[in-house]
Structure 1
Amino acid sequence: MAMNSILNGDDIKKAMNAFSAPDTFDFKKFFEMVGLKSKSNDDVKKVFTVLDADNSGFIEEEELKFVLKGFAKDGRDLTDNETKAFLKAADKDGDGKIGVDEFAALVKE
């Protein structure tokens, strides 16, 4: 499933441009800019499945590094600092990965 079937392509492009420099990624602002924050839980879960590249039911740290590529093929990789901060914010149960409910909660924060 393509991300632009869930979210507006122009919004995705604007958000990608806003966070194109290393160590500038702010997931809260990003989710707001792409319009994900205002989407239904169903749509948030669809986005999660796109980002869960290995279909494990979780977004692991390695997948998190490539989260922007899930939104746009030309997206940059997150830096180690950005990846760790994102994981720390979302991983409420401390298992080292992000489940769908943790992801949905983070998006709606």
Structure 2
Amino acid sequence: MAITDILSTKDIESALSSCQAADSFNYKSFFSTVGLSSKTPDQIKKVFGILDQDKSGFIEEEELQLFLKNFSSSARVLTAAETKAFLAAGDTDGDGKIGVEGLIVTKTRISELLCIKLQKRKSNYHIVAWLLLVS
């Protein structure tokens, strides 16, 4: 599955154009501009599956640094500062990776990204739900 099967090419181009300069990437505004706010939880899970290049169930720092390239092969690599800020938003247990069962996205304007880690006691299976809240 390609990312353009879920997100529109026009929205992807707009989101990428807003963060062409080094250190201009903001994950909150990128998610909004790329159109994730209008997607179902199932569609967002599919996007996560595309971002999880090694299919480990987690997005590690190396994959996160290449985040924009998932949307266009000609996109730039995130800077170290952008990658660390993005990782900090989703890595609630400090293990250097982001796990996700689903991204729950509201269908209106995004004002804040909140990450919550849930843990099943018996299986040690970590779930990070990225909740995009609206004002």
Q: Same fold (TM over 0.5)?
A: yes
| Alignment of structure 1 residues 8-47 onto 2, 5 Å | 8-47=8-47
Name the structure where strand makes up a greater proportion of residues. Answer: 2
Task: Please tell me the root mean square deviation across aligned C-alpha atoms, in Å.
Answer: 1.3
Give the TM-score normalised by structure 2. 0.76
Structure 2 gap ranges (5+): 104-128
Q: 1:72: Cα distance to partner?
A: 1.2
Q: Distance in 2 between matches of 1:37 and 1:26?
A: 15
**Closer, same or farther: CA 65–107 of 1 in aligned 2, 3 Å:** farther
Question: 2:55 is matched with which residue?
Answer: 55
What is the rounded CA distance, in whole Å, between the counterparts of 2:61 and 2:45 in structure 1?
A: 18
State the 1:94 CA deviation: 2.2
Higher helix proportion, which one? 1
Partner Cα distance (2:44, 2:92) in 1: 18
Bigger radius of gyration, 1 or 2? 2
Secondary structure, counterpart of 1:50 in structure 2? helix
Q: CA deviation digits over 1:50-108, x for unaligned, max 9? A: 0101010000000000000011111110000000000001112222100114x724362
Q: In 2, Cα distance between the equivalents of 1:75 and 1:7?
A: 16
